[in-house]
């Protein structure tokens, strides 16, 4: 059996973003493998967040036990856990649904610049235009659930070369 994590190794979601390092430094050899490990546990895995040399792995329950398990599987990686409300699978389902419905949303006058899972907020992040933000956000919350969505407001994004 592994070593029980100490109190500062399980981070509540509301503190996660403030604890993240400002510099890069994670070991990319482990990131994909840790993500695959988590996705094999879709009922509890909430995604991962990279910060400095640390991989934060989210769990919807049993975070201390799961931290022991993931550390056992990846002994050479610096890993901490964070607690979350929604699984990555739940959030990914909403992203897929919004993506599939983009044409019909456009027909309804709803413009979405981008959509994706944001594990650091444990939500689906939706980028929408500032000029229609209130109306669009309200309609999307009604359609997909307010507890799952966060909104970023911006103008269109263009690719440059």
Of the candidates 61, 83, 105, which is a domain's last residue? 83
| Exposure class string for 31-65: b at 16+ Cβ within 10 A, else e | eeebbebbeebeebbbbbbbbeebbbbbbbeebbe
Q: CA-CA distance, 87 to 107, in Å (whole number)?
A: 30
| 109-156 residue pLDDT tens | 999 999 999 999 999 999 999 888 889 999 999 999 999 999 998 766
Residue 24: its pLDDT value, please? 57
- If asked whether residues 75 and 124 sit together in one domain, one would say no
Q: What is the DSSP letter of 69?
A: H
- Within a domain: 2: no
- Within a domain: 99: yes
Angle at 84 between CA 147 and CA 39, to 5 degrees: 105
Residue 100: its pLDDT value, please? 97
Q: What is the CATH number of the domain that holds 114?
A: 3.30.300.50
- Within a domain: 160: no
Indicate the number of domains in the chain: 2
Of the candidates 83, 101, 123, which is a domain's last residue? 83
Q: Would you say residue 1 has pLDDT above 60?
A: no
Q: Would you say residue 27 has pLDDT above 70?
A: no
DSSP codes joined into one string, 14-28: HHHHHHS-SSB---H
- If asked whether residues 13 and 46 sit together in one domain, one would say yes
- If asked whether residues 95 and 120 sit together in one domain, one would say yes
Name the percent of the chain in helix, strand, coil, to the closest 5.
40, 25, 35
Residues pairing with 83 in the sheet: 59
Q: Would you say residue 23 has pLDDT above 60?
A: no
For residue 64, give both structure tokens.
Answer: 């201390």
Residues 6+ apart with CB under 8 A from 29: none
Q: What is the pTM of this model?
A: 0.79
Which of the four pLDDT bands, split at 50, 70 and 90, describes residue 31? confident
In whole angstroms, how far apart are CA 114 and each of 1, 20, 95, 102, 154?
A: 43, 24, 10, 10, 10
Which domain covers residue 111, as residue numbers? 88-154
| 76-111 residue pLDDT tens | 888 999 999 999 999 999 999 999 999 999 999 999
- If asked whether residues 146 and 92 sit together in one domain, one would say yes
In whole angstroms, how far apart are CA 99 and each of 48, 86, 96, 111, 159?
A: 22, 19, 5, 12, 20
Residue 98: its pLDDT value, please? 97
Of the candidates 34, 53, 83, which is a domain's last residue? 83
């Amino acid at each position: 059996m592994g070593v029980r994590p100490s109190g500062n190794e399980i981070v509540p979601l509301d503190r996660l973003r403030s604890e993240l390092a400002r510099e890069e430094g994670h070991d990319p050899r482990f990131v994909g493998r840790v993500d695959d490990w988590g996705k094999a546990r879709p009922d509890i895995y909430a995604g991962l967040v990279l910060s400095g040399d640390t991989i934060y792995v989210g769990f919807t329950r049993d975070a201390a036990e799961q931290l022991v398990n993931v550390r056992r599987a990846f002994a050479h990686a610096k890993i901490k856990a964070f607690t979350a409300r929604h699984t990555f699978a739940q959030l990914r389902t909403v992203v897929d649904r919004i993506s599939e419905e983009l044409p019909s949303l456009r027909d309804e006058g709803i413009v979405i610049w981008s959509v994706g899972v944001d594990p650091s907020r444990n939500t689906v992040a939706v980028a929408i235009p500032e000029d229609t933000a209130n109306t669009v956000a309200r309609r999307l919350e009604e359609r997909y659930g307010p507890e799952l969505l966060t909104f970023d407001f911006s103008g269109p994004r263009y690719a440059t070369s």
